[in-house]
């Protein structure tokens, strides 16, 4: 018959709970009862059962629930140290101890007794050593590793720093690069051409006037802003032109709505690619 393996213990019961026997009968459970692997636990109606396992878990059965304590839900209780004892005669135990102490192999010793060549035991069978279970305490694993303190690492700029100062040292390392910088401090110029050939716009010209001019030191594609301001400082027209080969022009400006006899000032402004503002 296989050895019974204890896997849990009843820690609390509210109501009634039972172990279902192989013949189908029910045996009442009490607090402190040991549960073995393969036992079937049944909680009655309006009941609750708590089972404590060796690894600290608590298994709870509620009313009308059934639990089979198989290997998937249970963890075997640690073996008692007495179960690790050698079950044999005193003479055989002494021989095994001496063999272990002297560093001899146990293979021949155990094979010899198991084969029955030794003195028969009290039950008429061969006398041999049988290991039921081995209980052994193992210390927790421990790992040793260094922090790297005091280790010298190379600094990118030359020299060395300790690993303890590594983060600070690396943070202070700067990378040097190279590039070309163009210095442009020369102010460009802009001028406005005479309007309508004589700076006087007559009735035949006022619906299509060309405002134009020239620049120097201004790159192609720069934008010229043009305004027409009356004597009171009010802007009556504004437009833009694009510089092309140091020239700009806004053709077809309709000024026919402006009153006759009034004087106006034309302004034009532009900057070069470096942001320098043009002067007249």
Query: Measured between alpha carbons, how far is 185 from 122 in angstroms, rounded to an integer?
Result: 116
The range of the structural domain enclosing residue 87 comes to 81-131
Which residue in the block uniquely carries the two structure tokens 């590594």? 166
Look at residue 168 in the predicted model and tell me its pLDDT.
46
Task: Band the pLDDT of 5: cuts 50, 70, 90.
Answer: confident
Look at residue 3 in the predicted model and tell me its pLDDT.
72
10-21 residue pLDDT tens = 999 999 999 998
Task: Band the pLDDT of 86: cuts 50, 70, 90.
Answer: very low
Q: What is the pTM of this model?
A: 0.37
Look at residue 77 in the predicted model and tell me its pLDDT.
47
More confident residue, 145 or 106: 106
The CATH number of the domain holding residue 200 is 2.60.40.10
Boundary residue ending a domain (68, 92, 121): 68
Average the pLDDT over 191-211 and give the result.
87
Predicted confidence (pLDDT) at residue 106 exceeds the cutoff of 80: no
Average the pLDDT over 142-166 and give the result.
51
Look at residue 171 in the predicted model and tell me its pLDDT.
47
Dihedral through CA 189, CA 195, CA 197, CA 203, nearest 10?
180
193 with 265, same domain: the answer is yes
More confident residue, 177 or 239: 239
226-237 residue pLDDT tens = 897 888 889 988
62 with 112, same domain: the answer is no
Which token pair is 217? Answer: 């030191």
85 with 62, same domain: the answer is no
Look at residue 136 in the predicted model and tell me its pLDDT.
53
More confident residue, 29 or 170: 29
Is 90 inside any structural domain? Answer: yes
More confident residue, 114 or 73: 73
Nearest to 209 by CA among 235, 232, 237: 237
Is 137 inside any structural domain? Answer: no
176-195 residue pLDDT tens = 556 677 777 788 899 999 88
Query: Measured between alpha carbons, how far is 21 from 133 in angstroms, rounded to an integer?
Result: 27
Is 138 inside any structural domain? Answer: no
58 with 88, same domain: the answer is no
Predicted confidence (pLDDT) at residue 173 exceeds the cutoff of 50: no
Is 23 inside any structural domain? Answer: yes
202 with 256, same domain: the answer is yes
What's the N-to-C CA distance of the chain in angstroms? 116
Is 153 inside any structural domain? Answer: no
Query: Measured between alpha carbons, how far is 124 from 121 in angstroms, rounded to an integer?
Result: 5
More confident residue, 175 or 260: 260
Boundary residue ending a domain (18, 34, 68): 68
Query: How many separate domains does the chain show?
Result: 3
Which token pair is 168? Answer: 């600070």
């Amino acid at each position: 018959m296989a050895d019974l393996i204890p896997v849990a213990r009843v820690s609390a019961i509210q109501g009634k709970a039972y172990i279902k026997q192989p013949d189908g009968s029910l045996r009442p459970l009490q607090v402190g009862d040991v549960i073995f692997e393969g036992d079937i636990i049944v909680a009655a109606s309006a009941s609750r059962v708590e089972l404590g396992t060796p690894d600290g878990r608590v298994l709870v059965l509620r009313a009308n629930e059934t639990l089979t304590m198989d290997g998937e839900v249970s963890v075997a209780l640690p073996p008692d140290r007495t179960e690790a004892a050698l079950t044999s005669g005193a003479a055989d135990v002494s021989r095994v101890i001496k063999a272990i102490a002297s560093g001899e192999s146990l293979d021949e010793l155990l094979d010899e007794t198991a084969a029955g060549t030794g003195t028969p035991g009290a039950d008429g069978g061969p006398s041999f050593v049988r290991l039921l279970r081995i209980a052994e305490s193992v210390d927790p694993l421990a790992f040793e590793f260094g922090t790297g303190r005091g280790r010298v690492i190379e600094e990118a700029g030359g020299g060395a720093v300790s690993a303890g100062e590594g983060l600070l040292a690396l943070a202070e390392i700067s990378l040097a690069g190279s590039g070309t910088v163009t210095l442009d401090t020369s102010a460009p110029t802009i001028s406005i051409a005479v309007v309508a050939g004589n700076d006087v716009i007559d009735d035949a010209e006022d619906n299509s006037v060309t405002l134009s001019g020239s620049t120097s030191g201004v790159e192609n594609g720069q934008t010229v802003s043009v305004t027409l301001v009356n004597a009171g400082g009010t802007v009556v027209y504004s437009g833009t032109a694009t510089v092309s080969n140091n020239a700009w022009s806004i053709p077809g400006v309709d000024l026919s709505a402006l009153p006759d006899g009034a004087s106006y000032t034309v302004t034009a402004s532009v900057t070069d690619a470096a942001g320098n503002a043009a002067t007249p």
